[in-house]
Structure 1
Amino acid sequence: MDLSDRQRLTVSAAEIARGQMTIASLATATSHLAQAETLLGAVVQSGERMEAALREAVDPDAVGTGAEGADQAVHPRVAAARLGVENARAALAILATLRGTLRGGTAATPPVIGEGDLS
C-alpha cells in the first residue's frame, strides 16, 4: 500500500465519519420535530377548548349585538384564542414541510401529519 492509497483511505474514513454525523444530526432533528409536533398538537387542542369555553362564558351583550352570522361581533378573548389556534396550525404545517424535506420529500408534497415513522 503506497502513500496515495493511505491518503484515499484516510479521506474515505473522514467522509464516512461526516456522513455518520450527518445521519445522527438528521435523526436528532427529526426527533425534535416530532416533539414539537406533539406539543403544537396539544396547543391546538387546548386552544380549541379555550375558544369554546370562552364562547360559552362571554356575554353576547358585552360585545354588542352586531349582525347575525359571520358579521357578528366577537369578544377579543375569543378572537385571541382563535388566532392562537390558527398560528399553532400554521406552525404544524411548517413542521410537516420540514419533516417531509428531512425524509426526502419536497416542500410541495410533505407527508401528512401523523403519517410515517419519524425515527
Structure 2
Amino acid sequence: MGYHLCIDETALSKGDLYTILINRDKRGRKGSIIAAIQGTKTDDIIAVLTKMPQELRNQVKEITLDMAGSMQKIAKTCFPRAMQVILIGFMYKNLYMKLYKSCALHIDGK
C-alpha cells in the first residue's frame, strides 16, 4: 500500500465526484492509485477503505489531505497510526479568499 498516502476528491467528468487514495511513494508511476471510490460521502469512503487489511492500513506513516473535516475523519478512522499532513496550498487559498473579501468590503464601504 505504501507508507505515504494522499487522499483527495476529484471530478473525473461532469458531476461525477470521486475520492482518490494515492501512494505518494510511487511518484505517479504504475501502482500509484490505491483506490478510486465513486462519491465523497464520509461513511461510504470509510466502508470501502476499511475492507483493506488492518495490517496494511496500520503501516501507513503519513497521509496528506486537505482541510475538510470529512477527510480528516476518513484518515483518522482508516489510518489511525498515520500522521495527518494538511496541504498548505489549501490554507493559502482560504487565507487569500478571506483577505480578498475583507478588502472588497473595505473598498465598497459595506
Q: TM-score range by the shorter chain?
A: under 0.3
Larger strand share, 1 or 2: 2
Pick the structure with greater CA Rg.
1
Larger helix share, 1 or 2: 1
